[in-house]
Chain A
Amino acid sequence: MADFETPELFKHIHVPKPVPGSMESSGPFIAKPDHQEALGFPHELVDNWEEKAVEEMGNTLQKYRGLRVFLDSCVKCGACTDKCHYYLGSADPKNMPVGRQDLLRSVYRKYHTPAGKFLSKLGLEWLIGAKSMTREVLDDWYNYYHQCSECRRCSVYCPYGIDTAEITMAARDIMDKIGHGQKYNNEIIGKVFKIGNNLGLPEPALADTLEGLEEDIEDETGVKVELPLDREGCEILLVTPSADFFAEPHVDGLMGYAKVFHEAGVTWTLSSKASEAANFGMFIGSYENMRKISLRIREAAIDLGVKRIVFGECGHAWRVAYSFLNTLAGPFDFLDQNYPIPQHICEFTHDLIQKDKLKFDPSENDWMTLTFHDSCNVARASRMGDKPGGQFTIPRDIIKKVCNNYVDMAADTIGEGTYCCGGGGGLLTDDLMAVRVKGAMPRMTALTNVVLEDGVTHMAAICAICKSQFSKVLPYYNMGMDMIVSVHQLVSNALILTGQNSEDENEAETAKESE
């Protein structure tokens, strides 16, 4: 494949000495004029882009207090320098969170602070690390702001909570507005506007796929479990990442949600209009686009007359749903206020487990030993349940209920300190393979350790991007691509449907005996 080296794994995650320029490149593919057009951005780099970039930065500073405070407050203490998986995997100092911030901060200081303006007049801006907006700077922005997965790990460890993800979003937004967008993100958002989902699956294809899944479940269990599309008057609208419709292991998760809804005895539907939970508007830091994408969900909920909205397994989608949906597309006064709006599928399943409404045979999963990868956006940018930290306990409670063998990875690599999969934030594209493989190093280290020490065979996740990314990068680290599973795939394996074929139970018996 591409010409880069997969990092070597050590017992402990190794903090490298900085190697400047080691990830220098021209960055991912640049958006074509029609990708830009669909989102309302200039087709290509505008003539006076230097001025325009500085001006857009000024506008963003007035809209986002976080950006201003973060750019002002960093004391260069260095606490974040060893916290980013891309730095750990690549050793490029511009991938240290503060190094990445400084690419923007140096320009901020020069044009938007009194100290920078004053010192520039004396030719002394180097004293405070201020820099002019040049082509070199823009190229660095484009390259390194597409080597950040907006995972917020740095923000946990910074004494002021400086969130490099916010800086990355601001930088990408500025670049979009001067006509220098990224192809992957912008093309996908265009598809969402045109067709309804990231993958560009039109309604008939969706209906077909769902029918196929119904057959699969019936073949396997003898029970007719429906996966309805655009059915009006249901209780629940399920919004799920479009990868769930066909990618592995995502689709097994989708079958899991369907079975859970079926057992719960609720009516539910998918929507072809909102056939995508992902919201790449967040990745490019564009409030307007993020809002437009969110409004589809509101419209679908109104059109279909549902009472509740439930989100499938997707990390950043859950961030946008949990943290932003009410802001972007609320208020949701037309939904049933007795349930969280929106609700995560894990909250939904967990609730049923608490009420003892689901019957499981966890031995169905006995052939695996599991661990759980906390997805960055769920861990550090959202919550589940009504207590802080529910996003960690709820998925684990579910897994432990449906599996007998569960082991956590090292404590500093999960929970709020979880390492990103390496493919989030709009980096899940083949033109960024080197970045993705290198950025996966810390997670791969932690995983390899539990594989060797505790015999872990599989890793579960609740994020479509994590699942796709791991399927792709696991082989680089000599592990099988099918090691990654969906949480609701495990639920699906163990769930005993009312009226399910008894053969299946016999199978489970034999599986147990043969151990």
Chain B
Amino acid sequence: MSTFFALLFWFATAVIVLGLAFKIRQYWVTPAPLKIPTTPAPTTQAGVVYRMAKEVIVFESLFKSNKWIWIFGWMFHMSLFLVLARHLRYFQDQPWFWVNIIQPFGKYAAFTMVIGLVGLFVRRIVVARVRYISAPSDYLMLIMLFFIGFSGLIMNYVSHVDIIAVKEFFNAWMGFSIGDFPVSVPLIVHLSLVALLLIVFPFSKLLHAPGVFFSPTRNQVDNPREKRHIAKWAAELENNSKG
């Protein structure tokens, strides 16, 4: 069991790291040949950073768009963020001080995370328009995250796991050795699903996380008259048609 989980996590980690690196590189090197920010758009780079921060932190466009999705979606993501920050303690000998500060909030965040997920799931089934656009994978994604959260809560409130042992296992794992895995059903469920999450991440719609930063309608400065914007392939096209 210990070997299995150590190997699974090495594999999953490799997949997400390499997968994301590949995708981010791909986004990075693919040009956006035309200026297409959705206007009104900021006219300076600083303005773009501010616009992007609002999108990522408060989901500004979504807020304009649909309050229900916003409430559930934002609740889920902010909770996810707190939960993950709280999880840093499994990987650190001496957690950073802010990781300690958010420990108590993180605990409640598990509830809001699960509520947010349930809200999104219900919406997906109940609203005919959203049901129409949903593929099986869209439901499965929510179910997977729900069970990660749910198994986490079980460990927290019902069937406690030995946190110290988990920590030791992962500390060993990070040093590329195999420690003793504290076998318990909720932890097995939790970690199997987490591994699955890491593996599907770079191949699924979870690419929205890096994607949002590369979206030309959100990350471009509105200055086409002041500054000529030209992609490499477009410049080559120009040269060829001249010569």
Binding site for B on A (CB under 8 A): 15, 17-18, 20, 61-66, 68-70, 72-83, 93, 96, 98-99, 102, 113-115, 126-129, 152, 155-163, 166, 287-288, 291, 322-324, 326-327, 330-331, 340-342, 379-383, 386-389, 391-392, 416
Q: Is B27 an interface residue (CB 8 A)?
A: yes
B40 close to A388 (CB less than 8 A):
yes
Chain A residues with CB under 8 Å of B231's CB are: 63
Closest to B70 in A: A79
Partner of A73 from B42, B135, B205, B224 at Cβ < 8 Å: B205
Closest to A379 in B: B39
Chain B residues with CB under 8 Å of A323's CB are: 34-36, 224
Of the candidates A114, A156, A323, the one having the most CB atoms from chain B within 10 angstroms of its own CB is: A323
How many angstroms between the C-alpha atoms of A99 and B218 in the bound complex? 22
A81 close to B222 (CB less than 8 A):
no
Decide: A93 near B132, CB < 8 A? Known: A66-B32, A159-B59, A380-B38. Answer: yes
How many angstroms between the C-alpha atoms of A62 and B231 in the bound complex? 12
Known: A79-B65, A81-B129. 7 other contacts (CB 8 A): A77-B130, A78-B123, A79-B62, A81-B133, A98-B133, A159-B59, A160-B208
Closest to A282 in B: B34
Q: Is B127 an interface residue (CB 8 A)?
A: yes
Query: 4 closest A-B pairs (Cβ-Cβ)?
Result: A73-B211, A161-B217, A129-B135, A388-B40
Decide: A162 near B39, CB < 8 A? Known: A78-B66, A93-B132, A287-B234. Answer: no
B33 close to A63 (CB less than 8 A):
yes
- Annotate B203-226 by CB proximity to A: 1 below 8 A, 0 otherwise: 111011001101111100010110
Partner of A64 from B33, B40, B230 at Cβ < 8 Å: B33
How many angstroms between the C-alpha atoms of A481 and B75 in the bound complex? 49
How many angstroms between the C-alpha atoms of A97 and B228 in the bound complex? 31
B214 close to A74 (CB less than 8 A):
no
Q: How many A-B residue pairs have CB under 8 A?
A: 209
Chain A residues with CB under 8 Å of B228's CB are: 326-327, 330-331
Chain B residues with CB under 8 Å of A115's CB are: 200, 203-204
- Annotate B123-140 by CB proximity to A: 1 below 8 A, 0 otherwise: 110011110111111101
How many angstroms between the C-alpha atoms of A127 and B34 in the bound complex? 34
Chain A residues with CB under 8 Å of B66's CB are: 78-79, 157
Shortest A321–chain B CB gap in Å is 9
How many angstroms between the C-alpha atoms of A392 and B39 in the bound complex? 11
Partner of B30 from A20, A62, A77 at Cβ < 8 Å: A62
Q: Is B69 an interface residue (CB 8 A)?
A: yes
Shortest A222–chain B CB gap in Å is 38
How many angstroms between the C-alpha atoms of A280 and B170 in the bound complex? 59
A69 close to B214 (CB less than 8 A):
yes
Closest to B216 in A: A66
A416 close to B137 (CB less than 8 A):
no
Q: List 10 A-B contacts (CB under 8 A).
A: A64-B32, A65-B27, A66-B216, A69-B214, A72-B23, A78-B66, A78-B130, A82-B129, A102-B133, A126-B136
Closest to A386 in B: B43
Chain A residues with CB under 8 Å of B124's CB are: 78
B129 close to A77 (CB less than 8 A):
no
B211 close to A160 (CB less than 8 A):
yes
Q: Is B31 an interface residue (CB 8 A)?
A: yes
Q: Is B3 an interface residue (CB 8 A)?
A: no
Decide: A69 near B211, CB < 8 A? Known: A82-B129, A159-B59. Answer: yes
How many angstroms between the C-alpha atoms of A74 and B207 in the bound complex? 9
Partner of B225 from A96, A102, A322, A416 at Cβ < 8 Å: A322
How many angstroms between the C-alpha atoms of A166 and B136 in the bound complex? 26
A382 close to B39 (CB less than 8 A):
yes
Chain B residues with CB under 8 Å of A18's CB are: 128-129, 132
How many angstroms between the C-alpha atoms of A391 and B200 in the bound complex? 43
Q: Is B97 an interface residue (CB 8 A)?
A: no
- Annotate B226-243 by CB proximity to A: 1 below 8 A, 0 otherwise: 011111011001000000
Q: Is B180 an interface residue (CB 8 A)?
A: no
Closest to A87 in B: B129
Chain A residues with CB under 8 Å of B123's CB are: 78
Partner of A65 from B136, B207, B216 at Cβ < 8 Å: B216
How many angstroms between the C-alpha atoms of A38 and B142 in the bound complex? 50
Binding site for A on B (CB under 8 A): 23, 26-27, 30-36, 38-43, 55, 59, 61-62, 64-66, 69, 73, 123-124, 127-130, 132-138, 140, 200, 203-205, 207-208, 211-212, 214-218, 222, 224-225, 227-231, 233-234, 237
Decide: A380 near B39, CB < 8 A? Known: A65-B216, A79-B66, A113-B203. Answer: yes
Chain B residues with CB under 8 Å of A70's CB are: 215
B38 close to A152 (CB less than 8 A):
yes
How many angstroms between the C-alpha atoms of A60 and B234 in the bound complex? 13
Chain A residues with CB under 8 Å of B137's CB are: 127-129
How many angstroms between the C-alpha atoms of A61 and B215 in the bound complex? 14
A68 close to B36 (CB less than 8 A):
no
Closest to A78 in B: B130
Shortest A112–chain B CB gap in Å is 11
Of the candidates A62, A64, A392, the one having the most CB atoms from chain B within 10 angstroms of its own CB is: A64
How many angstroms between the C-alpha atoms of A354 and B27 in the bound complex? 44
How many angstroms between the C-alpha atoms of A323 and B36 in the bound complex? 7
How many angstroms between the C-alpha atoms of A92 and B105 in the bound complex? 45
How many angstroms between the C-alpha atoms of A475 and B135 in the bound complex? 41
Decide: A77 near B73, CB < 8 A? Known: A83-B65, A129-B135, A163-B38. Answer: yes
Closest to B204 in A: A115
A69 close to B40 (CB less than 8 A):
no
A326 close to B39 (CB less than 8 A):
no
A327 close to B65 (CB less than 8 A):
no
B39 close to A381 (CB less than 8 A):
yes
A157 close to B65 (CB less than 8 A):
yes
Closest to A98 in B: B133
A327 close to B61 (CB less than 8 A):
no
Decide: A74 near B208, CB < 8 A? Known: A18-B132, A98-B133. Answer: yes
Partner of B212 from A79, A160, A382 at Cβ < 8 Å: A160
A327 close to B34 (CB less than 8 A):
yes
Decide: A93 near B38, CB < 8 A? Known: A65-B32, A340-B225. Answer: no
Chain B residues with CB under 8 Å of A156's CB are: 38, 61, 64
Closest to B136 in A: A127
Shortest B233–chain A CB gap in Å is 6
Partner of B127 from A78, A113, A166 at Cβ < 8 Å: A78
B129 close to A166 (CB less than 8 A):
no
Chain B residues with CB under 8 Å of A96's CB are: 129, 132-133
Closest to A67 in B: B30
Chain A residues with CB under 8 Å of B35's CB are: 323-324, 327
How many angstroms between the C-alpha atoms of A416 and B205 in the bound complex? 27
